[in-house]
Amino acid sequence: MLRFNIIQINIILIIFCSNAWTKNFDIDIIFESGFVFESQNIFISNIKNTKSKQDIEDLIKSQDWIARYSLKFTPFSNKATLNILNRTPQFILNNEFYVDDKLKLFKFDNTLSNLIIVTGPIGDMAMVFKLIESIENSNMANPLMIKKINFNFTSGWIIKTDRHVIKLGNDLDDNKFKSLKDTLNYLYDKRKIPSMIDLRYKDGVALNYGE
């Protein structure tokens, strides 16, 4: 799980009020999840150009990387505080979106490129998480590191790890997940490292030890 430190940024904004006079707003922006995305830099640049409190609210609500926020203007004062909690991406979908643990999609801005890459016409994001958990939470003392998950209607699900390519086919039921777990545990116990594990067949598992 990604961990980030709290970062606080102080910004002076010129707010143009409806009665045509200007007012300096001193806004403390606190990124509770740390400074993670390039989108945050863009946000800071854009918030400097807002002309009203409503503009600020609208800008914040348009940021898909924000999970939660709190904006408070101090009465009879030029001060305001904006607390922002970022979404935490778990994988990258089709090089277009990050996906967080709530299955929420938000724009992939190339900031975090070392996450699991998922490609294909994915209709069920929950299934991706189930695949990731089934491998990362295996009983192996040295769990596999997933690099890429691909789905297509011809070959089904294919997982590329740091040690194996795992082919699962289209149907992912409880029996398939049990077979995956049993196979990984067997290979670990026997200290065997096949380059490919094929679980698409009902009558057994095919292993390939070639390059």
Taken in order of first residue, the domains within the chain and their CATH numbers are 7-86 (no CATH), 115-206 (3.40.50.11690)
- The pLDDT tens digits for 53-95 are 888 899 999 999 999 999 998 888 778 889 999 999 999 999 9
For residue 100, the tally of other CB atoms under 10 A from its CB is: 18
Residue 83, both tokens: 């607390």
Supply the pTM of this predicted model.
Answer: 0.82
Quote the pLDDT of residue 72. Answer: 92
- For the chain, residues with pLDDT lower than 50 are 1-6, 12-23
State whether the Cα torsion 147-151-157-158 is positive or negative.
negative
CB of 38 within 8 A of CB of 47? no
State the chain's maximal CA–CA distance in angstroms: 78
Quote the pLDDT of residue 22. Answer: 28
Give the Cα separation of 211 and 69 in Å (integer): 50
Quote the pLDDT of residue 139. Answer: 64
CB of 210 within 8 A of CB of 169? no
Quote the pLDDT of residue 24. Answer: 52
